[in-house]
Structures are given as C-alpha cells and as structure tokens.
Structure 1
Amino acid sequence: MSTFGQVFRVTTYGESHCRSVGCIVDGCPPGMALAESDVQPQLSRRRPGQSNLTTPRDEKDQVEIQSGVEYGVTLGTPIGMLVRNQDHRPHDYTETDLYPRPSHADWTYIEKYGLKASSGGGRASARETIGRVAAGAIAEKYLRQVYGVEIVAFVSSVGSVRMPFIDAEDRGVQSPVMRDFYQLLDRVSRADVDADTVRCPDAASCDRMREEILAVKADNDSIGGTVTCVIRGLPTGLGEPCFDKLEAKLAHAMLSIPATKGFEIGSGFRGTEMRGHLHNDAWVIAPGDANGHSGRLSTATNHSGGIQGGISNGQHVYFRLAFKPPATISRNQETCTYDGVPGVLATRGRHDPCVVPRAVPIVEAMAALVVMDAVLIQQARQNAARLLPTIPLQPCMTGKAPTEPNGKE
C-alpha cells in the first residue's frame, strides 16, 4: 500500500522519473499555521546533489502546497503537496529493459505487477520518500508546538567506520551503550548533525566516514551504514498494546524506507548479552523543575529505549537503523537477462555511493509520522474518557496504599 497511518494518514505518489512526486496528508488538525517554508528545510536536507558524497542529480525539490491550507492556516481537510521532477533522464536506464539490476526491485516488481516503471526504480526509488518527508514536516511542527517534541537523527556508522561510543563492545556488558552516547542523545541538535555533509555529529568520525564514501565512489561501488535517531520530549502513554506497540509501529515505518535491512531499539541486540538485574530500568523520582513542579516517576537507566509494554514511558526514545549498500552501482556486473541469458550489465545514471547522509531527514520524517498518529489516537481516547462520569481513582493513581472495604489499610 502507499498509505501510512490510521488517524494521521499519508498517501505518497510518483515514480523516480515521472512528472512529479508528492503526497496527500489527511487528518491534520485544523487551525495550525502552515506554509511551504515549514516543509522546505527538510526536503532540502533530503534532496540529491548536496555534495560530492551524493548523487549528482540536480533537483531543487521545491514543494508546492496544493490544498488543505488557506490564508496560511490548515483547514483540517486533506493537504496536497507536490514536488516537480526536473533533472530526470529516463534514457539512462535502457539497460534495465534487458537486465534486472542485481539486488534491485526490477524483477520483483514484474513478478508482482506484470510490468515495471521503464526508468529508475519507479516506486522503489528513494524519490518516493519526498512525500514522506513533506508529510513528516507537518507532523513535526504540530508535535513541536503542542508537546515540545524534538526528533534528531544522525549518521552513526559508514561501513566499518563508526562513532567511537556507539556501543560498548570493549567495555563488557555492564551497559549496552557508553555513558557518552546517552549524553549525546540528551544534547545533539540538527545544527550539530548538519555541521558536516556526512551528517555525523562527531568530527573525527566524519573525516573517516567521508574517506570511506569517497573511496567506494572512486571505485564505482557503494557502501552501507547506520542512522541513529532520538525522540525527546515524548508524552507518556503513546502506543497500543499487542500489535500496535510504539516500537512495532516505529519498526514498520523505518523498515519501509528504501535500502533498510535492520532495526533495533534501546539496548537492541547488545542487550541480549546482559543479565536481567543489569538490564532492568529501575524507577526513580525525577527532580522537580525550575517552576516548582514536583518530580514524577522516571527511570535511572534507559535500556528500554523509552518504551515499555509497547507504550512510551516519558524517556528518550532512541533506535538505530541499518542501510545496505545502494544496489545500483556504476561498474560492470556479471548477471543475466530476464530470459536467463548470462551477460554483463553496465549501469549508467547518477547514484548515491552511500545513502545514509541523505536518509537522516527521511528517518526523522517517519518517526514524526508514527508519533503524530499515536498522539492523535491517544488524544481521542483521553477526550472520550473525559465525557464519562467521574469515578474513584485507583490506589496506584492516588499514591496511597489500598484500603479494605471497612476502611482499614
């Protein structure tokens, strides 16, 4: 399907070399100020041609809001957004009429639909994500204004080059990540991430990652990597029991991004090596704030990644996403035709040697769409509950020990 979400619903459209790509956003609350300038920054971070680390395809990806907004305010009706394809070269893909590209979707699309887009990757192309990023920018504005939510993603590894404190491999299994990493999650900003075209907030790692990307580019090859994302300021109570747990929705969203191959949240796979008494997040009372508000329950550690029982607990939600090397590379590859005749595919076109620097705003957008949908679902539940007659609170909600029917504790 090309639609994501239950209440905040996003439908994307378009192929890599058609006239335009974009989306329809349904379920956006009315009365929010919205203009193209709210959406464009994230599209500009995603667009091709940003640096020598990305595809040289030169698309400005200028968004046009077509509907759902009047006098700069959302109407509550579907918001249509369009981005025109300008620098498209379908003639660069004539070879794919004969050869299915190794590890690309040419063959599987034919098996599913009986035909495929004649150029580029069609719907399997990363240009499909333009609609996601545009919709995510709207969701993010609402979440920021109403709840103060911050979503920041960054490149945490390229190939075998990774940030030095991304995990605790050399520190035993007392903790799945190092303290420096938790401190980074507290403070990292998009300005920190965008300080370098690699989009890694650690300067030393950036230099090594850049060398890795440029080396594979010079060899007409490609390389994969990982993106880490943190969601700060998330309200408690988001996510549904069982099948629509918040981490399940995040995994669904993230693994729908092209070229993704793995998802882990919180302690992830590293947490499987820990003992339970070390992995458990003990409850503590957080300090009160500067306005005199008393502290509330928090956790001493955050191995859970901000989610317990599928529901947000108020801590930072953080996860890591794996991207494979881009399938389309500019070197000859021994393969076979659709008819099974061995041959050599010589790929032309313009391709990313590594997708992770441009994937950062896509990850942020999909995180925003998941959270926005969960927020609206929870708001509906809370508003419906407010209409009911008041009932006595459960003991766990009053902070007092339960009493027996005769009034004795």
Structure 2
Amino acid sequence: MSSIYGENIHISIFGQSHSAAIGVAIDGIPAGLAIDTAALNAFMRRRAPGQNEYSTARREADEPEFLSGLVDGHTCGAPIAAIIRNTDTRSRDYDPFRFTPRPGHADYTADIKYRGFEDRAGGGHFSGRLTAPLCIAGGICIQLLQQQGISIMSRIASIGSVRDAGELSESTADKPFPTVSDAAGEAMRREIAAAKAEGDSVGGTIECRITGLEAGLGGPLFGGMEGRIAKAVFAVPAIKGIEFGAGFAAAEMRGSENNDPFLMKNGRVITKTNNCGGILGGITNAMPLTFRVAVKPTPSIAREQITLNTKTQQAEPLIIGGRHDPCIVPRAVPCIEAAAAIAVYDALLDRRKEQI
C-alpha cells in the first residue's frame, strides 16, 4: 500500500495527474482541533502551478473541497476527506509516449509493474501533481503543530551551482522566492531562465528547519525520526537525496569536530553546535531539527533526447512537448514542509501515547 503513510494517523493519497480529481483521506486526527481553511488555501497556493515564469503553464486553482471530517472549522473525529478537481488537463500531449518512455520519468518502470495498464497522461499516479493532496494533509498537520508551538520553515538552498548564504529565518520562509540572500535569489532566477532558454531544466536543494520540538520523539532502529521524515519526503517525486544536520559533511570531520557538546541554558539542556540536526539515536533532542533534500532537474525538457521504442526495440529521437517546469525547486518547498509536518505530527502522537 505505497499510497498510504503513517502509524498513528493514516494518510491515503489517490488520483492521477489527469483524472477527474486528486485527493487525500486522513484518518486518526483527534476531534475538536481548529483548522483554518483560508490559511490552508494560502499554503496550497505556494505550490500551485502557473504562477510565474519558472513554473509550468498549466493552471489549477488547487483549492481543496472537503467532503468529510470538518464541521464549523473543527475536526469532528471522522476521517478527513478532500479532493482537488483537475480542470486544465491536455492528455493528448502524452499520446506519443505510449511506446517511447521518457528518460528520467517513471514511464518504463510503471509499464513493467502495472503490465501496460498504467495511466501515462501527465505521469498518472507518479506525477508531481499528487503533491497537491500531500500538501492538504501536510498543511493541516502544520497548523496542528503550530498549535503546540512547533514551527516548520524552509528555504531554497541552491539552484544549480548557485548557493544561498546566511541563516534560515521566518522572514526568509515568508518570501515568494525563499532565499536569505536576495542577490542569490536573483542569480538563481537567472540560472532557471538560462536553462529554460536552452530547452533544458535545472535542479537544486532545499533546507528545512523544525523548531519547538520536545526531546523524546522518534526511536531507535526503524522508528527513528530520520527514517520517518525520509519516508514522507521521498513521496515528493523529484527528491533524490536527504541529509540531516551536517549530513555528508560529517564524513569529512573528526569526531571532535562532529560531536555536539551538551550545555545547560535557562534551565534546559542544549548542544553548543547542531551537527546532529536535532536527532540522536533516532530521537529528537529539542534542538532545531534540520535537514536538506536534493531535487533533481525536471525530466521533461524541450531538447531532443534519445529513447527506446519498446514496440520496435529500436532507439529513436524523442521531443517532449506539453507544459513543464524548467525548475521544480520553488514549488517543491511547501511540499517538503508538508511531508515533514506529517512525519512529525505522526511521531508526536506516538510520544503522547508513551506519556500516558
């Protein structure tokens, strides 16, 4: 059941890129919790397509239509079900790819797994379009975490070879193009524009930071916070890597450099540094939980590519038309926040059961 996530809440995502609707069912959220649908819609707009020059021209309102679970702005204890209707689809754009799998896409692997019965239009169930219902669930979890003093913020850390500078803060996270350095943000936009002009695409990295967490969330082995978050984050199709705290840089450090000394400050235990990213032994230590993800370049590009015609068994040129993002990174930022929120809220409910 690869479309379902969670141990204490259960998130089930359904639909395809060009089906009548996409949606999510969320089971396990307690009754009586306030949900601000206007704030949720604002969060959804951050990932919606067709808003700027580095986004696909496909236009979708992406406003959730709630079918159950909310009454008078509060959860009622029943499963929350919401859909988003797909209103701007052009399935004919994908007719040429029935026997010519697009490089970098799931066309070939989906064809093998589902024996040719898969929906290829727009990528079907493998499409980044399915991050919209992920953001419904994650947007709700973000609000529930905020009610407990937990905040999630992200920034674009890099686009191509252009890197942001400075420390992530709430003011950064509120920007339409969230970088600490405005100059770096402009350079990133130029990098995207250059790739688009060449009929190509570009990837990047996103940094996410979660503050306000108590110590004790997660567990050892398969219950660790790294694993919980990674599983949710990899539901975003473009993600190819994740690192926590110092991440891969820790491999180049000595233990004396990587270890975070414990201190007492204002009556609470903290660490002097945070190379562990707020997690030790799979368990949160109440320091900011930090991680970064790698986002691959959008595989649909205007440049001619070579693929295999699975019917003729011959290689042939491939040109992909349609409407595609030259860079998916800006729209992926809220998706990463949503995935992290789902994982953290699920772990928080686990912790509450332990404390009974």
Could you say which residue in structure 1 is the equivalent of 2:66?
65
Deviating more after overlay: 333-342 vs 299-308 = 333-342
Residue identity matched to 2:235: S
Query: 2:327 matched to 1:354?
Result: yes
Q: Which of 277, 289, 292 is the aligned partner of 2:256?
A: 277
Match in the other structure for 2:134: 132
Q: Distance in 1 between matches of 2:173 and 2:279?
A: 25
Corresponding position: 1:262 with 2:235: no
Alpha-carbon contact 1:36-1:65 (below 8 Å) kept: no
The C-alpha deviation readout for 1:59-95, integer Å capped at 9, x for no partner, is 1111111101112211111000111111111011111
SS of 1:6's partner is coil
Q: In structure 2, how many angstroms separate the alpha carbons of the residues matched to 1:34 and 1:250?
A: 23
SS at match of 2:46: helix
**1:315 aligns with one of 275, 282, 287:** 287
Match of 1:212 in 2: 191
2:345 matched to which residue of 1? 372
Amino acid at match of 2:228: K
Is 1:18 the counterpart of 2:4? The answer is: no
Letter in 1 for 2:159: V
Task: Measure, in 2, the Cα distance between the counterparts of 1:98 and 1:274.
Answer: 49
Residue in 1 that maps onto 2:299: 327
Q: 1:172 matched to which residue of 2?
A: none
In structure 1, C-alpha distance between the alignment counterparts of 2:235 and 2:86, rounded to whole Å: 22
Q: Which one of 175, 189, 195 corresponds to residue 195 of structure 1?
A: 175
Cα offset for 1:196?
Answer: 4.0
Over the residues paired in the alignment, what is the CA RMSD in angstroms?
1.2
Measure, in 1, the Cα distance between the counterparts of 2:309 and 2:174: 42
The letter for the 1-side match of 2:332 is A
CA apart distance, 1:35: 4.5
1 CA distance for matches of 2:103 and 2:95?
15
Residue 54 of structure 1 aligns to which amino acid in structure 2?
A: S
CA distance in 2: counterparts of 1:298 and 1:51, whole angstroms: 42
1:225 is aligned to 204
Residue 168 of structure 1 corresponds to none
Contact 1:49 1:55 in 2 (8 A): yes
TM-score normalised to the size of structure 1?
Answer: 0.84
CA contact (8 A) 1:38 1:138 kept: no
Deviations 1:271-307 (A, max 9, x none): 11111112111111112xxxxxxx1111111111000
Q: Distance in 2 between matches of 1:315 and 1:245?
A: 16
Cα distance in 2 for partners of 1:196, 1:220 equals 25
Q: Would you say how many aligned residue pairs link Structure 1 and Structure 2?
A: 353
Contact (CA 8 Å) 1:325, 1:354: kept in 2 or not? yes
**Superposition misfits of 4+ residues, deviation over 3 angstroms:** none
SS of 1:46's partner is coil
* Secondary structure class of the residue paired with 1:322: strand
**Distance in 1, Cα, partners of 2:100 & 2:283:** 46
Partner of 2:336: 363
1:192 deviation in Å?
2.5
TM alignment of 1:336-351, pairs within 5 A: 336-339=308-311, 340-351=313-324
- 1:226-261: CA deviations, max 9, x gaps? 000000111110002211101111122222311111
Secondary structure in 2 matching 1:134: helix
Partner of 1:95: 96
What is the identity, as a one-letter code, of the residue corresponding to 1:56? A
Q: For the residues of structure 2 that align with 1:50 and 1:235, how far apart are their CA atoms?
A: 37
The whole-number CA distance in structure 2 between the counterparts of 1:118 and 1:225 is 26
Q: Distance in 2 between matches of 1:269 and 1:39?
A: 34
Corresponding residue for residue 107 of structure 1: 108
TM superposition shift of 1:23:
0.1
Residues of 2 paired with 1:253 and 1:62: CA distance? 22
Cα distance in 1 for residues equivalent to 2:131 and 2:231? 15
Whichever residue aligns with residue 375 of structure 1, its letter is: L
Determine if contact 1:95/1:345 at 8 Å carries over to the other structure: no
Q: Answer with 1 or 2: which has the greater Rg.
A: 1
Preserved CA contact (<8 Å) 2:164 2:180: no
Question: What residue ranges of structure 2 are gaps of 5+ in the alignment?
Answer: none
> Per-residue CA shift, 1:181-206, capped at 9, x if unaligned?
xxx24xx12x5234343x32320110
Name the aligned partner's letter for residue 123 of structure 1: H
Aligned to 2:269: 297
- How far apart, CA to CA, are the structure 1 residues paired with 2:172 and 2:198? 30
Q: Which residue of 2 aligns with 1:399?
A: none
Give the distance between the partners of 1:357 and 1:301, measured in 2 at CA: 29
Give the match's secondary structure for 2:175.
coil
TM-score by length of 2: 0.96
Structure 1: runs of 5+ lacking an equivalent: 165-179, 288-294, 384-409
Aligned counterparts, 1:370-409, within 5 A: 370-383=343-356
Distance in 1 between residues matched to 2:30 and 2:121, nearest whole Å:
38
For the 8 Å contact 2:300–2:320, the answer to whether it is kept is: yes
Quick check: 1:266–1:306 contact (8 Å CA) kept in 2? yes
Q: Distance in 2 between matches of 1:27 and 1:373?
A: 9
Shift in Å at residue 325 of structure 1? 0.8
AA partner of residue 199 (structure 2): N
**2: CA distance between counterparts of 1:249 and 1:138?**
18
Letter in 2 for 1:24: A
Secondary structure of the 2:32 match is coil
